[in-house]
Structure 1
Amino acid sequence: MAPNKVRYLVFFQYFGPRFSGVMAAPSDRAVLGVQNYLDMALQKLRPVGTPTFFISSRTDSGVHGLCNSAHVDIERSAGKLPFSEDVLVEALNLHLKPEPISVLKAIRVSNDFHAQHKALSRTYTYRLATGGKYRDLPVFERNLCWAASESGLDMGKIQEATELMLGTHDFSAFRSKNSDTPFKSPIKTLDQADFTPSTSLLPNHVHNRDLQFWNVTFKSKSFIYKQVRRLTSALVMVGLGILTPQQIRFHLDTGEPLSNSRFPLIAPPEGLFLKEVKYAERAVSALELRQPQQRS
């Protein structure tokens, strides 16, 4: 690298429905990706060349990023010092307005650091509601939550199914047909699988009193395409009695794809949040990044 070129690890968040996904889209598209806007904001800082962000974790259109990450190499013209971490955050956020994207933190890293390959784990949380229809959701929840069922769920059966999902499995049964090249292994290790009660974003539950909110959380080093949304739907089906925990075990053991006409096999994107990307020296979450940064 040039002496005044610096690699940064950048953490950022975004509101998914506004974008085609996190990855850059062709510039002539009506709807662009989050990366397009990050790259455009960076160009306004007048770096040498045309640097681009290397995204750690891909998310689709409609999926939110509470805390995604990327690395980027920034070289400044001769005689200019590298950006400090705080200045880079402030400058990028200035040029990202008014898009619903926020840079949370920047950290100088070594020249061989890679945001995707160095990630130890990724944590996703899926928000859903039961006890009502889409129209029963508060308007503030409708792009942040899935109205999965008007009925309640059997949490004992869901707990049994989540325990079966933990550990290393061939998740071929939960793979999308039009996704992932054949070179990507469906064998993944789930370090966390939780289905827990949650609350509405609105205080005092100003909505249908029958609504119950839930968080479904999965943690792994990596996931196959749409795996989290498929696992979430499968757990809801178990809770509704459409599937049994034993059927989940069967599909994990055999890799036979799920087939069901009574319920969507893939949960919609708007309930899914990339919550955390963990690296060797730190787990940087949206909560941590809200804390005030100390200035030297």
Structure 2
Amino acid sequence: MNSPKIRYLVFFQYFGTKYSGVMETLTDQPMLGVQNYLERAAQNLRPVTPIKFYVSSRTDTGVHALCNSAHLDVQRGVGKPPFPASVIVAALNYHLKAEPIRILSAYRVSDNFHARFSALSRTYIYRLVTGCSHHSQIPVFERDLCWAPKGDHLNVPAMQEAADSLLGTHDFSTFRSVSSEKPFKSPIKTLAQADIRPSSGFMSHHYEYRGLQFWELEFKSRSFLYRQVRRMVGALVAVGQGRLAPYHIKELLEMRDPLAYPLNTMAPAAGLFLKSVEYDDADVDTEGNAAE
């Protein structure tokens, strides 16, 4: 008889520019998903049955993750004990090799744990830079990692006032993509955080003399609609540029119509990062089975 099937929760990060998104794609596509590479690396564990990653949070082409998560089941052959979490981390990272994907940690979890449905919340960060008159002026180490909206200044207090109107429970239909794959999904979401703050990255002092300023917009909710964060960011930037007033954001919410969203306003993918996925401590045994 084969060894019992063991379920693991893994946290992982990736630089999303070269991938079609996090979800797997057909292998004949020019760009593959992060999941394709994760599952390819996992087969080197020589499981009894192929390993599938159940990803907690979808991200689009060009979107990055400081920390995403997924669960996977690993069953070994006769007489072989379960892998320690540390082995899962080390083996996957070894076989990912040069891919800009890294496993951060792993935990053994119960058989009824689900990375997507057990998540309590997800937090996204969007990075902006002001002071660039053209995207070609974005520093080389920041390319594909932030958005430089037109203009050299944003009215951040007005943006924060507008962001505050997004907090709480609302019908976010206006901020749902028109091309949403799941239009039947409830548009009712509860936004617990919508903050705008200066970003103080380790390279910031190299850019100050050029008049560049980096900003982070942070959003937290149990779940988000398809492209909701990028559409919220784009609308808030329009407020910062003076193209919209803060009260327009509340009006857009009340319209509950994705077609009411201003054309050519959605923020590009490159500045978006999935920051974290949070779980109940009771669901994840952190005593001795985690590996960093």
TM range (shorter): over 0.9
Q: Secondary structure at the match of 2:152?
A: coil
Residue deviations 1:205-228 (CA, integer Å, cap 9, x gap) = 247622111000100000000000
User: In structure 2, how many angstroms separate the alpha carbons of the residues matched to 1:68 and 1:122?
Assistant: 9
Read off the aligned partner of 2:58 and give its amino acid letter.
R
Deviation of the 1:282 alpha carbon = 7.9
Residue deviations 1:179-212 (CA, integer Å, cap 9, x gap) = 1322201111000001111135525324762211
Alignment match, 1:145: 146
Q: Secondary structure at the match of 1:222?
A: coil
1:73-152 aligned at under 5 Å gives the runs: 73-132=73-132, 133-152=134-153
Paired residues of 2:151 and 2:241 also in contact (CA < 8 A): no
Deviation of the 1:283 alpha carbon = 11
Alignment match, 1:195: 196
* Structure 1, 111-120 or 141-150: larger mean CA deviation: 141-150
1:110-259 aligned at under 5 Å gives the runs: 110-132=110-132, 133-206=134-207, 209-256=210-257, 257-259=259-261
Deviation of the 1:281 alpha carbon = 1.1
Deviation of the 1:260 alpha carbon = 3.5
Deviation of the 1:70 alpha carbon = 0.2
Check 1:259–1:228 CA distance in 2 against 1; reply closer, same or farther (3 A cut): closer
Alignment match, 2:287: none
Q: Secondary structure at the match of 1:143?
A: coil
Q: Secondary structure at the match of 1:215?
A: strand
Residue deviations 1:143-191 (CA, integer Å, cap 9, x gap) = 1011113231112211211110000111111111111322201111000
User: In structure 1, how many angstroms separate the alpha carbons of the residues matched to 2:136 and 2:47?
Assistant: 48
User: In structure 1, how many angstroms separate the alpha carbons of the residues matched to 2:126 and 2:209?
Assistant: 21
4+ residue stretches of structure 1 with deviation over 6 A?
A: none
User: In structure 2, how many angstroms separate the alpha carbons of the residues matched to 1:207 and 1:147?
Assistant: 15
When the two structures are superposed, what TM-score results if normalisation uses the length of structure 2?
0.92
* Structure 1, 191-200 or 32-41: larger mean CA deviation: 191-200
Paired residues of 2:252 and 2:261 also in contact (CA < 8 A): no
When the two structures are superposed, what TM-score results if normalisation uses the length of structure 1?
0.91
Paired residues of 2:105 and 2:291 also in contact (CA < 8 A): no
Check 1:201–1:63 CA distance in 2 against 1; reply closer, same or farther (3 A cut): farther
User: In structure 2, how many angstroms separate the alpha carbons of the residues matched to 1:14 and 1:94?
Assistant: 15
Residue deviations 1:216-272 (CA, integer Å, cap 9, x gap) = 0100000000000000011111111111111111111121444445xx321111100
**Identical positions, percent:** 54
Paired residues of 2:5 and 2:74 also in contact (CA < 8 A): yes
Check 1:194–1:283 CA distance in 2 against 1; reply closer, same or farther (3 A cut): farther
Deviation of the 1:4 alpha carbon = 2.2
Alignment match, 1:38: 38
Alignment match, 2:52: 52
Read off the aligned partner of 1:74 and give its amino acid letter.
V
Alignment match, 2:270: 270
User: In structure 2, how many angstroms separate the alpha carbons of the residues matched to 1:184 and 1:201?
Assistant: 40
Q: Secondary structure at the match of 2:13?
A: strand
> 5+ unaligned residues in a row in structure 2: which ranges?
285-289
Paired residues of 1:55 and 1:116 also in contact (CA < 8 A): yes
* Structure 1, 155-164 or 6-15: larger mean CA deviation: 155-164
User: In structure 2, how many angstroms separate the alpha carbons of the residues matched to 1:127 and 1:218?
Assistant: 12
Deviation of the 1:49 alpha carbon = 1.1
